[in-house]
Amino acid sequence: MSVALGTTRPLPVRTAPVGDPGDLLASLPRTAPYAWVRNGEGLVGWGEAAKVSVPPGPGRFAWARQWLADVFGDAHIDDAVRTPGSGPVAFGSFTFDENARGSVLVVPQTVLARRDGHAWLTTIGDAPLGTFSPIREPGRISYGDGSLTAPEWEHVVARAARRIRAGELEKVVLARDLVATAQRPIDVRLLLARLARRYPECYTFSVAGLVGATPELLIRRTGQEIESLVLAGTTARGTGPADDVARGAALFASHKDRHEHECAIASVRQALAPLCSSLRTPDVPELLVLPNVQHLASHVSGRLADGASVLDVVAAMHPTAAVGGTPTDTAIKVIRELEGMDRAGYAGPVGWIDAHGDGEWGIALRSGLVQGRRVRLFAGGGIMGDSDPAAELAEAQAKFRVMQYALEG
């Protein structure tokens, strides 16, 4: 196994059942925590048995799969659990833009996991226990403009809507950033704990400084079975129960939002159909209600036709129309021209993969990139021909509140 500890000899990997660990996130040490948790279940990890920066370019997922095959293929694995997520696991984050640097894969030295009433611990070599220390509050948080001011971003939205009305494309997803600065270095564990508590139905994640809670499952592979949750079309929560119901009904009846959702489903169907022997997509979306927003949501499931790993499916699906636009190539071109910033890992794939090709990957939404006392927060929305710039700005502001809550409590 190629390792980050200065040796190239294969290291032993051991997975064994353990008792219920309780709160997985509470087990994390301070340094470089990795996490993928939903409703108290999932995986957390620490230490680095192997790590690589994935070269940018259209072949990056194939490169990543080959690197993983080399790393996992050299491991001496003793796995007494034999379930998806046991044995050696890599956590990964890929940039939204295939040409941007910053994609990374990490195989932690220690992984603690819990799912379906079972828990297990995976260690690689002489895995460290980690330095456990009390979680420290970041202190006062101040905010500043990111790449564009709010009025500048509204102007970008208006320009995009004009290009859509002119027939250049159907939809484009535009993002913006906000910079938060804390008094003290930010403890990722605090953000994870707050996100998991406030948004238990979302996938709370941490990979190489990218931290967030995404509602959108890009793909789950369990053997040959795959699942995806497509979200497109959003409205804010109401001021009370009646307003909440009215907003949800208006979202469901919105031609703009339903068309945006149909574009997203068509994008997923087109990407998955060549890989699947069967594929099931709903005719009508449902309403997914989260603490800060409501989404139109569709559950997609299928069965892979051959031995594709979860990373192969990620490669086929990214970017979906839900985070890029329709048609994809034109939307990416418009994003590069208008957005005025580097998305880094925002709206890119984030998740984990094991040695059997099973895994779960989400789209890195409702997230921030943590660097010391500074965090870049990201949010965005789907722009259609009739989009109102002020309304789109308000939607982005509502999505920022997820990470603002994580910072401020």
Residues marked as catalytic = 171, 216
Per DSSP, 402 falls in state H
- For residue 301, what is the enclosing H or E element? strand 293-304
- For residue 314, what is the enclosing H or E element? helix 310-317
Whose CA is closest to 335, among 146, 93, 149, 156? Answer: 156
Per DSSP, 146 falls in state -
- Supply φ then ψ for residue 209, to 5 degrees: 90, -15
Q: Are 312 and 65 in contact (CB under 8 A)?
A: yes
Q: What tokens does 336 get?
A: 């590069």
Whose CA is closest to 80, among 41, 28, 120, 133? Answer: 120
Q: How far apart, in whole angstroms, are the C-alpha atoms of residue 268 and residue 263?
A: 9
- What's the one-letter identity of residue 62? A
Residues 6+ apart with CB under 8 A from 27: 21, 44, 112
Whose CA is closest to 109, among 33, 49, 52, 50? Answer: 49
Q: How far apart, in whole angstroms, are the C-alpha atoms of residue 297 and residue 287?
A: 6
